[in-house]
Amino acid sequence: MSPPSHAEVASLARQYGRHVYLAAYRVLGRHASAEDVQQDVFVKLLQSPPHQVSSWPAWLATAATRAAIDRLRRQQRRQRLLPHWAQHRLDSAEPEPDAHTEQGERAQRLRQALARLKPAEAECFTLRCVQGLEIDAIARATGMSRNHVSVTLHRARHALEAALAPENRHDH
Amino acid sequence: MTTDFSIDSLSPTLDAHVRSLRDATPDTRRAEDAQRALEDRLRRTRAPRLRRAGWIGAASAAVLAIALLVLPTLPGGGQNAFAAIQQQLRDFTTVHLTVTQQSGGMNMPTINVWAERNGRTRTDISDATSVIVDPRQHQLLTLLHGPHMAMQVTLPAGGQDAAKQADPMHWLKALAQFDGPVTELDKPRVIDGVITHGWKAQQHGMAMTVWADAQQMPRAIDVQGHGLTQHLRVRLDTAIPAGYLSTKVPDGYTAMQPDQD
The pLDDT tens digits of the residues spanning B100-113 come to 887 766 777 788 88
* C-alpha span between A135 and A38 (Å, rounded): 24
Indicate the pLDDT class of residue A99, thresholds 50, 70 and 90: low
**Chain B: residue nearest A38 by CA?**
B38
Contact B58 A15 (CB under 8 A): no
Q: CA quadruple A11, A15, A18, A19: dihedral positive or negative? A: negative
| pLDDT average, residue stretch A61-73 | 94
CB contact under 8 A, A165 and B13: yes
Query: Would you call A10 and B61 a contact, using CB atoms and an 8 Å cutoff?
Result: yes
| Mean pLDDT calculated for residue range B147-158 | 75
Q: Label the pairing between strands B139-144 and B206-212.
A: unpaired
Task: Tell me the ipTM for this assembly.
Answer: 0.87
CA distances from B149 to A7, B137, B142 (A): 15, 21, 8
Res A36 pLDDT > 90: yes
The CA distance from B188 to the nearest CA of chain A, in Å, is: 27
Which of A10, A19, A151 lies at the smallest CB-CB distance from B2? A151
Asked if residue A53 has pLDDT above 70, the reply is: yes
CB proximity B41 to A under 8 Å: yes
> Quick check: B188 contacting A, CB < 8 Å?
no
pLDDT in tens, B51-90: 444 445 555 555 544 544 444 333 333 356 777 877 777 7
User: Is residue A82 scored above 50 in pLDDT?
Assistant: yes
Whether the pLDDT of residue B3 is over 80: the answer is: no
State the Cα torsion A33-A35-A37-A38 to the nearest 10°.
Answer: 160
Residue type, B191: I
User: What pLDDT sits at residue A9?
Assistant: 87
Residues 6+ apart with CB under 8 A from A151: B2
**Of B27, B45, B103, which is closest to A97 when you measure between CB atoms?**
B27
Residue type, A12: L
The span from the CA of B64 to the CA of B90, in Å, is 20
Would you call B103 and A129 a contact, using CB atoms and an 8 Å cutoff? no
How many Cβ atoms from other residues are within 10 Å of residue B41's Cβ? 14
Q: How many residues does chain B have?
A: 261
Write b or e for each residue in A125-152: b if 16 or more Cβ atoms lie within 10 A of its Cβ, otherwise e: bbbbbbbbbbbebbbbbbebeeebbbbb
Highest mean pLDDT among A147-156, B119-128, B192-201 belongs to A147-156
Question: How many A×B Cβ pairs under 8 Å?
Answer: 201
Mean pLDDT score across all residues of chain B: 74
B128 to chain A: which residues are within 8 Å by CB? 14
Chain B residues lying within 8 Å of A35, measured CB to CB: 30, 33-34, 37-38
Q: Are B125 and A6 in contact (CB < 8 Å)? A: no
pLDDT bucket at A87, cuts 50 / 70 / 90: low
- Chain A CB contacts of B35 below 8 Å: 17-18, 21
What are the chain B neighbours of A58 within 8 Å (beta carbons)?
Answer: 205, 226
Query: What's the confidence (pLDDT) of residue B154?
Result: 79
- The Cβ-side half-sphere exposure at A101, using a 13 Å CA radius, reads 10
Mean of pLDDT over chain A? 85
Q: At B50, is the pLDDT very low, low, confident or very high (cuts 50, 70, 90)?
A: very low
List CB contacts (< 8 A) between A135 and chain B. Answer: 4-5
Using a CB–CB cutoff of 8 Å, tell me whether A36 touches chain B: no
Contact at CB, A34 and B26, closer than 8 angstroms: yes
Quick count: other Cβ atoms within 10 Å of Cβ B77?
A: 20
pLDDT in tens, B20-44: 998 888 888 899 999 999 988 888 7
Long-range contacts of A50-53 (CB under 8 A, 24+ apart): A50/A3, A51/A1, A51/A2, A51/A3, A52/A1, A53/A1
B169 Cα to chain A: minimum distance (Å): 19
Q: Are strands B106-116 and B121-125 parallel, antiparallel or unpaired?
A: antiparallel
Rounded CA-CA distance B2/A97 in Å is 39
Report the distance separating Cα B23 and Cα B197, nearest Å: 32
pLDDT digits (tens, 9 = 90+) for A37-49: 999 999 999 888 8
- Does residue A17 carry a pLDDT above 70? yes
Q: Check if the beta carbon of residue B201 is closer than 8 Å to that of residue B183.
A: yes
Chain B residue nearest residue A15, CA to CA: B109
pLDDT tier, A70 (very low <50, low <70, confident <90, very high otherwise): very high
Are B226 and A61 inside 8 Å of each other by CB? yes
Q: Which residue has the higher pLDDT, B144 or B86?
A: B144
Chain B contact set for A120 (CB, 8 A): none
Percentage of residues in chain B with pLDDT exceeding 70?
Answer: 71
Cβ burial A74-111 (10 Å sphere, 16+ → b, else e):
ebeeebeeeeeeeeeeeeeeeebbbeeeeebbbbbbbb
